[in-house]
Amino acid sequence: MTEHVTLFEVGPRDGLQNESRMIPTADKIKLIDMLSTVGFSKIEATSFVSPKWVPQMGDAAEVMQGISRKPSIHYAALTPNLRGYHAALDAKADEVAIFASASEGFSQKNINCSFAESLERFAPIMAEAKTAGIPVRGYVSCVTECPYDGPITPEQTAKTAKALFDMGCYEISLGDTIGAATPATTAPMIDAVVDAIPVQNLAGHFHDTHGHALANIELCLSKGIRCFDSSVAGLGGCPYAPGAKGNVATEAAAQRIHDLGFDTGLDLTKLAKAATFAQSLTRPA
């Protein structure tokens, strides 16, 4: 039987958060509704962060309210603190994600606190989510390199990932935030993380700044990782990480994964339609 690989669609969040032009809420909803027909089991729809920090995500509640949900899909949202978690829950997010950094520099620039302080902020989210039965995913950013601190050691990333896993995150998404990773740097990082966390609890999150994302996915597949984040039409980046271009395009990731003999369950024709619409959102009307 063909082995399944999950593509976690993050375009509506990681993709659109970086657009300087304010995208109308109705268009975000339309994009998510189109993506809901493609066959994803997970779509990261938005983030409940400070609108002062990321104005593009300021309509998170309206987006969650407006989408036509499919019961088979988990609609996920990023939550940096308890306030964001409560707002995500009010908006009926099926799961949430906390996000930390393997580097201190990016932690400060992105969420305005140290890594240790971020764990303190996440602790009450984890406690409440456990009681409410809400799955929490954990992101680790800058897994091989930070735009502020430079190269990050595999041990540092493994330590960060383990801290989030030990808090109760069901899956740790390893973020190559600025697309600097190559298979040569990804391999020792994955080996170190797999020593600390079961491989089935890991996901790869590759930005494609330098065109290495597909090679990194292939490397991760060879090491047993079966979940990858991707963004329709390769939308994206992070406003607090200079050089963070788009995530790997979902279309390209799905094609490569299929070529390697795995199945994603995605309808590539419907995906192409969603990608055409997503691209139209990044251009001024």
Binding status of residue 44 toward Mg ion by CB under 5 A: no
Binding status of residue 217 toward ligand HMG by CB under 6 A: no
| Pair type for strands 227-230 and 150-151 | unpaired
Binding status of residue 210 toward ligand HMG by CB under 6 A: no
Give the sign of the dihedral formed by CA 38, CA 10, CA 140, CA 214.
Answer: positive
The smaller minimum CB distance to ligand HMG, of residues 140 and 275, is found at 140
Shortest distance in whole angstroms from residue 223 CB to ligand HMG: 19
To the query of whether residue 142 is one of the catalytic residues in this protein, the response is no
Q: Which stretch binds ligand HMG (CB under 6 A): 68-76, 107-115, 160-168, 249-257?
A: 107-115
The smaller minimum CB distance to Mg ion, of residues 10 and 134, is found at 10
Shortest distance in whole angstroms from residue 13 CB to ligand HMG: 8
**Going residue by residue from 53 to 92, which x/- string records binding to ligand HMG, judged by CB under 6 A?**
xx-----------------------x-xx-xx--x-----
The smaller minimum CB distance to ligand HMG, of residues 211 and 260, is found at 211
Q: Which stretch binds ligand HMG (CB under 6 A): 41-49, 67-75, 188-196, 259-267?
A: 41-49
Shortest distance in whole angstroms from residue 135 CB to ligand HMG: 16
Shortest distance in whole angstroms from residue 194 CB to ligand HMG: 19
38 binds, among Mg ion, ligand HMG, none (CB under 5 to 8 A by kind): none
Binding status of residue 175 toward ligand HMG by CB under 6 A: yes
Q: One of 169, 220, 227, 238 is an active-site residue; which one? A: 238
DSSP letters, the chain, are -PPB-EEEE-IIIIIGGG-SSPPPHHHHHHHHHHHTTTT-SEEEEEE---TTT-GGGTTHHHHHHHS---TT-EEEEE-SSHHHHHHHHHTT-SEEEEEEESSHHHHHHHHSS-HHHHHHHHHHHHHHHHHHT--EEEEEE-SSEETTTEE--HHHHHHHHHHHHHHT-SEEEEEETTS---HHHHHHHHHHHHHHS-GGGEEEEEB-TTS-HHHHHHHHHHTT--EEEEBGGG----TTSTT--PBPBHHHHHHHHHHTT-B----HHHHHHHHHHHHHHTS--
Interacting residues toward ligand HMG by CB under 6 A: 14, 17, 47-54, 78, 80-81, 83-84, 87, 99, 110-112, 139, 141, 175, 177, 205, 238, 240
Interacting residues toward Mg ion by CB under 5 A: 14
Active site amino acids: 238
